[in-house]
Amino acid sequence: MILLSCTSKKSYPDPLAINLADVEWGDPGDGSIAPAGTRTALQSTDPNSGGISYYAWFPAGGFFDLHWHTYDEYVVLISGSVTISLGKEVYDLEPGAFIVIPGGMPHYWDVPESGDAIILVRRTGPPDFHFVNR
């Protein structure tokens, strides 16, 4: 199991309204969890559940290996396009798509070479990653 450590000056449910252009992105990742070059921006943490809300910016051509999380994940595709597998189903998605990933469901993300993708994620519990066949 890999845990994602997130700290934030923001807490939940403090008011928050932010434009995508004003998001403060973290440094590009090294590829140890998400595709190399992936950047995230934590927006809030629920002090009761440990669930987080964050943006993730996947680089063009990035592939996020098959994995699952303990808690449910709700995602909106903000920009770009992605292919995602949810269990045995595979979906090609465009901006505005809404995705529900139940806890324990294996899934992967595949970003086409044609451009980066940005998602907005809300988790119902603390973030963790369990990789399949790693």
Task: Look at the chain and report how many structural domains it folds into.
Answer: 1
Question: In this structure, is residue 8 part of a structural domain?
Answer: no
Quick: pLDDT tens for 37-69.
999 999 999 999 999 999 999 999 999 999 999
Question: In this structure, is residue 15 part of a structural domain?
Answer: no
Confidence at residue 36, expressed as pLDDT on a 0 to 100 scale: 96
**Residue 82 in tokens:** 């992605």
pLDDT beyond 70 at 74: yes
**What pTM, to 2 d.p., does this model score?**
0.88
3-state secondary structure 44-90: EECCCCCCEEEEEEECCCCEEEEEECCCCEEEEEEECCEEEEECCEE
Q: What is the overall mean pLDDT for the chain?
A: 91
Confidence at residue 134, expressed as pLDDT on a 0 to 100 scale: 64
User: Which residues partner with 76 through β-bridges?
Assistant: 98, 120
Question: In this structure, is residue 4 part of a structural domain?
Answer: no
**Beta carbons of 64 and 57 less than 8 angstroms apart:** no
The amino acid at residue 68 is: W
Confidence at residue 16, expressed as pLDDT on a 0 to 100 scale: 84
Question: In this structure, is residue 26 part of a structural domain?
Answer: no
Quick: pLDDT tens for 27-44.
999 999 999 999 999 999
Question: In this structure, is residue 92 part of a structural domain?
Answer: yes
Question: In this structure, is residue 110 part of a structural domain?
Answer: yes
CATH number for the domain spanning 47: value is 2.60.120.10
Over residues 74-87, mean pLDDT = 97
Tell me the residue range of the domain where 92 lies. Answer: 36-131
Over the range 15-40, which residues count as b (16 or more CB within 10 Å of their CB) and which as e? eeeeeeeebeeeeebeeebbbebbbb
Read off the pLDDT band of 85 (50, 70, 90): very high
3-state secondary structure 3-29: ECCCCCCCCCCCCCCCCHHHCCCCCCC
Question: In this structure, is residue 58 part of a structural domain?
Answer: yes
Question: In this structure, is residue 25 part of a structural domain?
Answer: no
Confidence at residue 7, expressed as pLDDT on a 0 to 100 scale: 47
